[in-house]
Amino acid sequence: MIIGVGIDVAEIERFGAALGRTPQLAERLFLERELLLPGGERRGIASLAARFAAKEALAKALGAPGGLLWTDAEVCVEDSGRPRLEVRGTVAARAAELGVRSWHVSLSHDAGVASAVVIAEG
């Protein structure tokens, strides 16, 4: 059963400018391993913008309650390249309240826009 669906878009240039203006922003939004590609190189702005959109979409799928911590939702990458979500803390607690048992996430970026869709399933 679908418990919630969220979608979000982020303008890549605007997101990159925000990261440039506020260097601590990346640390507030992402875990260190989210900032890096599997090979250890720093992830590009388009990829980070898509991950930010996924976190926004996740919050929407949970009903956009206050008090969720950005770093309690992590966008991981399977060996196949498929993205997946891992949740903990505030996000896991809200998901448990709603009966969420699994997540589906899709990321994209093109033409200056990053987007994400998250489905919470119970």
Residue holding tokens 């949740």?
A: 87
Residue type present at position 102: S
Residue type present at position 54: A
78 is known to lie in a ligand binding site: no
Residue holding tokens 């048992």?
A: 101
**Host H or E run for residue 48:** helix 45-61
Structure tokens that stand for 100 in this block: 């969420």
Compute the Cα dihedral for 28, 79, 115, 5 and give only its sign: negative
Structure tokens that stand for 75 in this block: 């966008």
41 is known to lie in a ligand binding site: no
Residue stretches of the annotated binding site: 8, 56
Residue stretches of the annotated binding site for Mg(2+): 8, 56
